[in-house]
């Protein structure tokens, strides 16, 4: 969709009349200021002062006539509110239409938020921006235009997919990272660990041989909070939760722990629209 086809506010009669009224007020105010300065400069000249005062009086009468449009102001406010709401709905509608044309799923969540494919988009109409997120983690803030939102969404999903291994590789990496972390923390295998503590260990096991040999920055495989959430959601979707006779078990965050956002991870795949999780463990299948 071209930017030219994005919704715009149409100026109705109320807008045009208000604009003309403000312009007239500005001109009259300038004339009044000039006349008042004439009074001050002509204070030693009675005739000149009288003429200047007459000029002030004329401009004040003009101001009074222009300012007596209370009903017009009320109508203008209603018109502005209606136009803003129309524009907001048109903006969201244009994004939804463009998403459908691109084959992306779209679902309205609130008056300002919607799902766009796997991402959530929150529009701040006052700021003119859109925040794209996944697992309640901000990915990008862009201009709230159709092309800007769709292009950024495509780029963010592409990045997440590019950094994600297959489900088989993901569960193996998590198993190895969990083994590294429990050993480092002196915990028995099978004990719960904090999900966020797994990130450094997962980063460690994912680095290629080229990185360890040459410290090649280009071969780095970063693992962020949102990346881990993305991979765990995809493991759930693929039903790939077992590895080497062990099952991946997640512990939910409840009460006070759920409010500490840096210690928990939100998973979109959980029931009821998603849930915060705090811990992870691998348990032998016989242990349940």
3-26 pLDDT, tens digit per residue, is 344 555 555 666 677 677 777 777
Q: What is the pLDDT of residues 109-123, one digit of tens each?
A: 998 999 999 999 999
Mean pLDDT in residue range 49-65: 72
Question: Is residue 280's pLDDT more than 90?
Answer: yes
Query: Which helix (H) or strand (E) element contains residue 280?
Result: strand 275-284
Rounded CA separation 211/36 (Å):
78
Least confident span in 39-43, 135-139, 196-200, 242-246 = 39-43
Q: Pick from 41-45, 114-118, 208-212 the range whose average pLDDT is largest.
A: 114-118
Q: Cα–Cα distance between 265 and 275 in angstroms, integer?
A: 8
Q: Count CA atoms closer than 13 A to 65's CA, side-chain side.
A: 8
Alpha-carbon distance 230 to 28, whole Å?
Answer: 62
> Smallest Cα–Cα separation from 264: which of 248, 282, 279, 281?
279
Is residue 127's pLDDT more than 60? yes
Question: Would you put residue 169 in left (φ > 0), alpha (ψ -120 to 50) or beta?
Answer: alpha
- Report the range of poorest mean pLDDT among 149-158, 211-220, 249-258: 211-220
SS3 label, residue 267: strand
Phi and psi for 140 in degrees, rounded to 5?
-165, 155
Q: What is the pLDDT of residue 14?
A: 63
CA distance 267 to 57: 71
Could you give the percent of the chain with pLDDT greater than 70?
A: 78
Parse the chain into domains and list their residue ranges.
1-68, 163-287
pLDDT of residue 3: 39
Q: Is the pLDDT of residue 29 over 50?
A: yes
What pLDDT is attached to residue 116? 95
Q: Where are the alpha helices (DSSP H) in 9-69?
A: 13-41, 46-67
Q: Max alpha carbon distance in the chain (Å)?
A: 109
- Give the list of residues 6+ apart from residue 238 with CB closer than 8 angstroms, or none: 167
pLDDT at 234: 95
Query: Mean pLDDT over residues 88-94, rounded?
Result: 88
- Higher pLDDT pick, 207 / 209: 207
Helix (H), strand (E) counts: the chain: 9, 10
Q: What pLDDT is attached to residue 46? A: 63
Residues 6+ apart with CB under 8 A from 24: 66
Identify the residue with better confidence: 145 or 12.
145
pLDDT band of 138, cuts 50, 70, 90:
very high
Asked if residues 72 and 17 have their Cβ atoms less than 8 Å apart, the reply is yes
- CA atoms of 199 and 205, how far apart (whole Å): 10
CB neighbour list of residue 50: distance below 8 Å, 6 or more residues apart: none
Per the DSSP assignment, residues forming a β-bridge with 243 are: 246
Average pLDDT of the chain, as a whole number:
83
* Residue scoring higher pLDDT (62 or 160): 160
**What is the rounded distance in angstroms from the CA atom of residue 204 to the CA atom of residue 22?**
65
């Amino acid at each position: 969709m071209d930017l030219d086809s994005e919704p715009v506010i149409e100026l109705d009669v109320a807008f045009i009349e208000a604009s003309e009224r403000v312009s007239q007020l500005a001109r009259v105010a300038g004339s009044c200021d000039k006349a008042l300065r004439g009074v001050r400069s002509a204070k030693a000249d009675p005739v000149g002062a009288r003429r200047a005062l007459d000029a002030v009086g004329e401009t004040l009468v003009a101001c009074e006539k222009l300012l007596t449009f209370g009903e017009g102001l009320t109508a203008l406010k209603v018109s502005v509110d209606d136009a803003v709401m129309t524009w907001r709905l048109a903006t969201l509608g244009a994004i939804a239409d463009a998403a459908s044309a691109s084959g992306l799923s779209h679902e309205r969540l609130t008056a300002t938020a919607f799902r766009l494919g796997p991402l959530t988009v929150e529009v701040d109409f006052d700021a003119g921006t859109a925040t794209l997120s996944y697992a309640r983690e901000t990915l990008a803030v862009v201009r709230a235009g159709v092309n800007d939102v769709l292009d950024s969404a495509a780029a963010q999903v592409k990045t997440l997919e590019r950094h994600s291994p297959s489900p088989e590789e993901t569960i193996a990496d998590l198993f190895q990272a969990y083994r590294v972390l429990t050993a480092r923390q002196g915990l028995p295998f099978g004990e719960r660990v904090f999900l966020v503590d797994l990130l450094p260990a997962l980063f460690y096991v994912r680095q290629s041989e080229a990185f360890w040999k040459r410290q090649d920055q280009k071969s780095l495989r970063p693992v962020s909070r949102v990346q881990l959430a993305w991979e765990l959601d995809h493991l759930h979707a693929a039903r790939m939760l077992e590895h080497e006779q062990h099952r991946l078990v997640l512990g939910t965050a409840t009460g006070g722990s759920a409010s500490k956002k840096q210690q928990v991870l939100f998973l979109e795949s959980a029931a009821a629209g998603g849930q915060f999780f705090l811990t992870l463990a691998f348990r032998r299948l016989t242990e349940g």
